[in-house]
Amino acid sequence: MTKDHKYNSNLDFKMMNLFFKIRDFFKDPRKKIEKIHLKRGDYVLEYGCGPGSFTVAIAERIGPKGKVYAADIHPLAPEKVIKKAEKNELENIETIITDCKTELEKNSIDKVILIDILHDLENYEENLKEFYRILKNDGKLWVDDHHFEGKQIKFRINKNGLFEYISKKDSLYEFRKNFKS
């Protein structure tokens, strides 16, 4: 993580966590995750995981042979994610604190998932380069961000030519690696 990057205060993170608990009570994260083409055994990076609302749903979906890397810039995120993993008896979740670089191996990830975080990425083009690097050749990038209209999401992801749009499922946009760049 870069030294000059600022993340929300601990109080802001705790308030977000409370809001997400209420949201998740009325709108189960599993409903959104089931729209993503996750398979048993997939390796997934959930980037901007926050307190882990979607992390648990992803981990359950991919099963014990898969792995979820739950990445967030906030130092409280891993604590919350680990507590949720333990509560749900999940051992296929690993946390990463980062604002860009994941330290994951090149071509090691089946899916990268960004839910409501694209608008918050200070240098999203660098993040896209990292996602491109870690995704397998047939890997997919899934993006959902209610702060942007669909055309804004497509523009941001397609802008540097690394990814190309495939399809939309409800509010989720699916992209694949572009090998023409």
Q: Is residue 3, in this structure, part of any structural domain at all?
A: no
The percentage of residues in the chain with a pLDDT greater than 90, rounded to a whole number, is 75
Residue 114: domain span: 26-177
Cα separations in angstroms, 7 against 2, 3, 10, 48, 151: 11, 11, 9, 12, 27
CATH number of 86's domain: 3.40.50.150
- Checking if the pLDDT of 4 tops 60, the result is no
Considering the chain, what is the average pLDDT of its residues? 90
Judge residue 27's burial from the number of C-beta atoms within 10 Å of its C-beta, 0-12 exposed, 13-18 middle, 19 or more buried: exposed
The tokens describing 177, both together, are 């690696």
The percentage of residues in the chain with a pLDDT greater than 70, rounded to a whole number, is 87
Q: Give the H/E segment covering residue 119.
A: none
Q: 47 pairs with which residues across the strands? A: 71, 114
The tokens describing 104, both together, are 């994951």
Q: Is residue 154, in this structure, part of any structural domain at all?
A: yes
Q: Is residue 17, in this structure, part of any structural domain at all?
A: no
Nearest to 176 by CA among 137, 133, 129: 137
**108 touches 94 (CB < 8 A):** no
- Work out the number of other CB atoms within 10 angstroms of the CB of residue 4: 5
The tokens describing 100, both together, are 């860009």
pLDDT at position 145: 93
**84 touches 109 (CB < 8 A):** no
Q: Is residue 148, in this structure, part of any structural domain at all?
A: yes
**149 touches 114 (CB < 8 A):** no
Nearest to 156 by CA among 137, 131, 180, 179: 131
In tens, the pLDDT along 123-151 reads 899 999 999 999 999 999 999 998 999 99
Q: Is residue 171, in this structure, part of any structural domain at all?
A: yes
When pLDDT is averaged across residues 67-71 and rounded to a whole number, the result is 98
Which pTM does this prediction carry? 0.87
Q: Is residue 7, in this structure, part of any structural domain at all?
A: no
In tens, the pLDDT along 51-65 reads 998 999 999 999 999
Cα–chain center distance at 144: 9
pLDDT at position 105: 98
Number of domains present in the structure of the chain: 1
- Checking if the pLDDT of 181 tops 70, the result is no
Q: Is residue 57, in this structure, part of any structural domain at all?
A: yes
In tens, the pLDDT along 36-50 reads 999 999 999 999 998
135-144, strands of its sheet edge to edge: 93-97, 67-72, 43-47, 109-115, 135-144, 172-177, 163-169
Q: Is residue 1, in this structure, part of any structural domain at all?
A: no
